[in-house]
A and B are shown apart, each in its own frame.
Chain A
Amino acid sequence: MKPTALSLAAIAAVIVTYIRAIFFTPLEATQGPAQKILYVHAPAAWVAFMAFGLVGLTSLIYLWLKDERLDRIAESSAEVGVVFTTVVLITGPLWGKPIWGAYWTWDARLTLTLFLWFIYVAYIVLRGAVEEKEMRARYSAVLGILGALLVPFIHLSVYLFRTLHPRPILMKPSAPSLPEAMLVTLLLAFASFTLLYTALLRARYRYAVERDNGQNDGMTHAG
């Protein structure tokens, strides 16, 4: 199977981001090298939230239009979102240990993100458990919408609760609080991870289309 131009561009962009982050971005004075985890942790979180936001949106429209393409987009985005959330949940503790002295703390941001991961793992399990196509799409659309409602709470949790997790340095109303060299790397990381998400979403969607076409052909032959 040949890789698409989009997936090659995504791989190249992520490699360039890694090289810039490792070799051409200055170290932060107080946190040291561990601060460079920012360039994989924050963009992965952004992509995960975007992925689950898309699940919520397409699920909502699916319940209205009953178009199975929307269900496929939701299914694909949820799975890719779980992959990015897994990266967030692993890189976060690896950053927390040297800075906070602990891999994990049950503060609002971390706990809600873990809940979000559980919800979308449950979403994937639910899709595997229900055989009837329309029922599966309807049930998972409801769960997909409810899960997406957590996303704004997670983003705002650092303002609503007293948490160890720092507040956003980019996604906030005021100017970004980073020196220019670090800001450029972070913006590049956001762009390349978004491209990677798009490539993975497309590949996962194409898989879903081929699988459904195969099932339809099978039903036609059986009939």
Chain B
Amino acid sequence: MERKVSENVGYTTEGNVMVKKITVLSGKGGTGKTSLTASFAVLTQHAVLTDCDVDAPDLHMLLKPEILETQEFKASRVAVIDQDTCVQCGKCEENCRFGAIEKQVVDPILCEGCGVCAYICPVATIELEKRVSGYAYISKTKYGPMSHALLNPGEENSGKLVALVRQNAKKVAEKDNCELIVNDGPPGIGCPVIASLGGVDMGLIVTEPTLSGIHDMERALGLLNHFKIPALVCVNKYDINEENTSRIVEFCESNGVEVVGKIPFDPIVTEAMVAGKPIVEYAPKSNVSKAIEELWERTLEQIVT
């Protein structure tokens, strides 16, 4: 038995809510992922928002979450050598593939916590200490629940923390009967981005009409294609270089990717950020907000079908 529970998104099949998931990504940083995601939060009732940019998260500055639950994130280990019992045989240094041990001293920056040194040490003087590498938060905002995190400065394992953020979002969505999870993705195409894409129904790429923006969009599209995730593209600040915008549209058309919207450049977006508000709430009648509303509507249509 299939039952539609919402006009827009989400179905129940045999009583299970199927939560739809979309990730906003870009490849290149600073194209407007977070400003857009915050606006989507305003425009969507009953969605869970996540910030998957765990090492430079910004979404909370617009959504102003109230933290309900904090979790310690302990994923990494670091080798510690007890200098009193060390016999200076040099085996640890010899076997460390990361160059993290020099003269029996561990460089915690280079240490990846693999444990080879502790294993090889003949006098068992090396311990691996677990360290707290960040925190995950489950919060509420006036726009809906939010799952986010903060990696400690310079830490590793951002991908694992992203996975935790997404697990938390899934739990919240199931508990609160939310039908959609919107993930604000990190820049790049590596580890944390891949973690933000696992099992999503759609990737929305935010690009800008610069040669760098186009180059990075192509790689982001390659990544979605690699994981067989349907892609949509929107062009932010499209009027900064309309010739490049046409190139983006042509490229997407010839690759069967829909361009769901074009947003004009307007300093009012920065004003909204300074005011700490999503742009569609700060200036609902602006051309930027209208463009965002339209592109979000087209995106939702694509997620449902």
Question: Are A and B co-members of a single complex?
Answer: no
Interface residues of A (CB under 8 A from B): none
Interface residues of B, Cβ cutoff 8 Å to A: none
